[in-house]
Amino acid sequence: MSFVGKDTSTFSEVFCIVCPLGCRIGVEQGSDGLILRGGCSRGQEYARQEVTSPCRVVTTTVRIRGGEIPRLPVRTSAPFPRERIFELMEFLRTFEVAAPVRRGEVLVEDLLGTGVHLVATRTIRRLEKEGEGSEGA
């Protein structure tokens, strides 16, 4: 969690990363819920999520079979629950796709039941084996 500055059990500051301004947003637990100070509405929504249920877009690579390169760059389609990222990486460690794959293609829907998908971020062509694709050449 991006807490900086004061940090007691009732008051913290979240460093907003939604835009380059990088505002600090005060977060206090009031009797009726969270009290947010500073930042814009987008930043306050980010701060609320950081405190209650932090999520991150995950970018990594997975194995690709028969492709022109051995690893395919991927990312999650939306922020993924931070407390489950280790579980996600364990799943992706053994996950493999077959070439060809197109950039933007959804490789896995509803990752671990989160509603977030796994998306390819690069087009990878199938590596032609000797004797394939040379007809008429």
Q: Give the residue with the Cβ less far from ligand SF4, 19 or 69.
A: 19
Q: Segment 39-58, which members bind ligand SF4 (CB under 6 A)?
A: 39-40, 42-43
CB atoms within 10 A of CB 78: 13
* 18 binds ligand SF4, rule: CB under 6 A: yes
Beta strands at 96-98 and 59-65: parallel, antiparallel or unpaired? parallel
Q: Is the dihedral of CA 80, 70, 68, 134 positive or negative?
A: negative
CB atoms within 10 A of CB 80: 22
Q: Give the residue with the Cβ less far from ligand SF4, 1 or 21.
A: 21
* 16 binds ligand SF4, rule: CB under 6 A: yes
Residue partners of 84: CB distance under 8 A and separation at least 6: 112, 114
The one among 3, 4, 10, 22 contacting ligand SF4 by CB under 6 A? 22
The one among 21, 113, 130, 135 contacting ligand SF4 by CB under 6 A? 21
Give 137: exposed, middle or buried? Use CB within 10 Å, 0-12, 13-18, 19+.
Answer: exposed
Q: Give the residue with the Cβ less far from ligand SF4, 57 or 106.
A: 57
The one among 13, 14, 23, 80 contacting ligand SF4 by CB under 6 A? 23
Would you tell me which residues interact with ligand SF4 (CB under 6 A)? Answer: 16, 18-19, 21-23, 39-40, 42-43
